[in-house]
Structure 1
Amino acid sequence: MKKIGFLSFGHWTPSSQSQVRSASDALRQSIDLAVAAEQLGADGAYFRVHHYACQLASPFPLLAAVGAKTSRIEIGTAVIDMRYENPLYMAEDAGAADLIAGGRLQLGISRGSPEQVIDGWRHFGYQPAEGETDADMGRRHAQVFLDILRGEGFAEPNPTPMFPNPPGLLRIEPHSEGLRERIWWGAGSNATAVWAAQLGMNLQSSTLKDDENGQPFHVQQAEQIRAYRQAWKEAGHAREPRVSVSRSIFAIVDERDRLYFGGGGEQNDQIGYIDASTRAIFGRSYAAEPDVLIKQLAGDEAIREADTLLLTIPNQLGVDYNAHLIEAILTHVAPGLGWR
């Protein structure tokens, strides 16, 4: 069995060719698609966070709304850039959203990737400490966030408060029990995957990572997952970790699919640079008839290693068509691979 969810970047554009022409459209359609995906039997509704762009950016109002409209599906992010976050304020928002959703949040966080604005986190009021990089700052924010989610008191109470305090040091409220174990780290390298395992975070590995040995993307990603699981074992955590991978997979089952994806997916991995010095490998996409997809995906080592698959979706094609894409994978592809 494998959990299957969707991952939306929530793009919008005023173009007449898009069904998502405003921020309002993107947010409302994200909620509608999560409801539809739950009805179809999907396991997760995940959303990307990008600042300064015509994409989803403020996750917690959306996660809370999805949580209020659904009852079973996991609700998550992939990922929140921790360079932009106040860990304590984020813990309040996350706790509230998780309580509204009945404990279904699966929060993916990360040190971030290149954004639309140079050092955009500075405009949010954050800057690295002396000797830190922005990536170090993101990881520091993440560690504070993880500590706060444990629910232990740390703040000295006012001796003359407006409302009576419980005894002892105070914690951030609302606290949602168990959320600490549902935090995922979006790792771009083997080293950060190992670091995430040591801290007891689940692992999210997307459609790109550092090119560390020249092997095909899915092979490198599988190696990353195995390194993560070994580090988890060595850390001695009591629970089993979870691992997700993201893929662009489109099953061609009707003429609409053939119109959009009939040319096939990218047949090969791509090499590029995510900043001036980091060589990255981008995984291929898949688009074919279900029987062909089943054969292709059976050879993807990283998908085999993961317990959760996130399907990246073309959200600007609208709710109905994206629900169709999800249903096609659940109905025509997943059973042939033993995922359902």
Structure 2
Amino acid sequence: MPPTSRPLRKLGFLTIGLFDGDDPARGHETTLEIIELGERLGFDSAWVRHRHLQYGISSPVAVLAAASQRTRRIELGTAVIPLGWENPLRLAEDLATVDVLSGGRLNPGVSVGPPMHFDQVKDALYPDTADAEDFGYERVRRLLDLVRGKSASDFSGVEGFEVFSDRVQPHSPGLGRRLWYGGGSVSSARWAGEHGMNFLTSSVVKAEGPDDARDFAEIQLSHVRAFRAAHPDGEAARVSQGLVVIPTDSASPEQRARYEEFAARRLPRTRSPQGPGRLLFAPDLVGTSEEIAERLAAHAAFREIDEVAFALPFTFAHEDYVQILTDMATRLGPALGWRRAA
């Protein structure tokens, strides 16, 4: 395999945590089992997606609180929490609490924008303030300030038998450096860098203009470079890439056929920008670890990052995830230069 410019330093994975609406406890338990498996295999991080009013994880902070008590080393992240559904002050309290419980392993990823299907959900979510809510970057800035210890109140001290703080409690000092922004455009990458966040880039990017003829990797690379150019840490600023990657080394013939069929169904959407947002999707990478490593070595954006959170396909079975994660940790990771932490 041709050498990459940045050897892979951190290997992570991302799961959506699907469940059956008639038996949600089993689905959540399976997600926790997958995270435990990730720690045993030596992964550096496990990330969960966020899905409201769907059969996926609606409360990733609660799920990661549970995961924090069943693991000891692996970092735990959200990719991502859409802040349009959240009150930044309350979220800051929840994040800090889980970070303390985990021993400083939480990596919260967030994004902005109106909630999905906002017109249908706004009466339940913001019955009195829907027209006044700000779903832009200001919501992230409020969260950053609160997590990093800026005042949330102009009152502190003792009142009767109770003691009050003017900042979010508990305060977890390192958490402010572990906040991530999930972005798919140059402007979001630049904003994250200017505000000292880390940057999550996934298998979806935005073609910025109608004449943008660049391929996915070139667009994603421009985001990585814009982020680092704006970040105080420059080239050392943290970026994690989240492509859908499916190694087949130990897969059965039936599994391989299913994986290839899954990727083939999704391939047409990668050929041109989709929808009014002009979203461009990366092809899913299916094959042996050697084959995937070769393709990643040729990927312009991958060559400039040293952390990944490879996304698990949404609809596979538990035994499929076990096989995929095992191959990632034992074959693909080492093929990319990654070494399991002691």
Fold conserved between structures, TM > 0.5: yes
Q: Name the structure 2 match of 1:285.
A: 284
The CA deviation at 1:151 is 1.5
Aligned counterpart, 2:4: none
The answer on 1:297 being equivalent to 2:300 is no
3-state SS of 2:286 partner? strand
Residue 30 (structure 1) aligned with residue 31 (structure 2) = yes
Deviations 1:135-193 (CA, angstroms, capped at 9, x unpaired): x5242221111111122334233777243437xx6211111111111110111201111
The ranges of structure 1 where at least 4 consecutive aligned residues each deviate by more than 4 angstroms after the TM superposition are none
Shift of 1:78: 0.6
Greater shift in the superposed pair: 86-95 or 4-13:
4-13
**Residue 202 of structure 2 is aligned to residue 195 of structure 1:** no
SS at 2:119's partner residue?
coil
CA distance 1:128–1:111, change in 2 (3 Å): farther
Pairwise CA distance, 1:338: 1.8
In the alignment, what sits opposite 1:331? 330
Q: Which residue in the other structure is 1:182 paired with?
A: 178
**Paired residue for 2:93?**
92
Measured in 1, the distance between the counterparts of 2:156 and 2:109 equals 34
Separation in 2 of the partners of 1:12 and 1:118?
A: 26
Q: 1:264 to 1:159 in 2, by over 3 A?
A: closer
Residue matched to 2:41:
40
Percent identical among aligned pairs is 29
* Aligned-pair CA distance for 1:210: 0.7
Give the letter for the 2:154 counterpart. E
1:27-176 alignment to 2 at 5 Å?
A: 27-112=28-113, 115-116=116-117, 118=119, 120-121=121-122, 123-125=124-126, 127-129=130-132, 137-157=135-155, 161-165=159-163, 170-176=166-172
Question: What are the superposed Cα offsets for residues 263-292 of structure 1, whole Å, 9 maximum, x if unpaired?
Answer: 584567243435xx3211111111112322
**Cα distance change on mapping 1:297 and 1:79 into 2, 3 Å:** same
Q: 1:219-268 deviations in whole A, cap 9, x for unaligned?
A: 11011101111111xxx359942111111111112314323224584567
CA deviation string 1:25-84 (max 9, x = no partner): 221111111001000011111111121111111111101011111011110011000111
Question: Structure 2-normalised TM-score?
Answer: 0.86
Structure-2 change in CA distance of 1:119 and 1:150 (3 Å): farther
Report how many aligned residue pairs link the two structures.
322
CA distance in 1, matches of 2:36, 2:29: 11
Q: Which runs of 5+ in 1 are unaligned?
A: 15-20
Instruction: Tell me, yes or no, if the aligned pair for 2:84 and 2:115 is still in contact at 8 Å.
Output: no
Root-mean-square deviation (CA, aligned residues, Å) is 2.5
Check conservation: 1:10, 1:27, Cα contact below 8 A. yes
The change in CA–CA distance for 1:251 and 1:84 in structure 2 (over 3 A counts) is: same
Q: Structure 1's 146 and 159: CA in aligned 2 closer, same or farther, altered over 3 A?
A: closer
Q: Report SS of the residue matched to 1:339.
A: coil
Provide the rounded CA distance (Å) in 2 between the counterparts of 1:320 and 1:100.
Answer: 30
Alignment match, 1:17: none
Which of 234, 238, 242 is the matching residue for 1:242?
238
TM-score, L = length of structure 1: 0.86
SS of residue paired to 2:159: coil
Residue 74 of structure 2 aligns to which amino acid in structure 1?
I
Q: For 2:114 and 2:241, how far apart are their aligned partners in 1?
A: 17
- Structure 1 Cα separation of the partners of residues 185 and 234 of structure 2: 25
Residue 205 of structure 1: SS of its match in structure 2?
strand
Instruction: Check the 8 A contact 1:82/1:138 in 2, yes or no.
Output: no
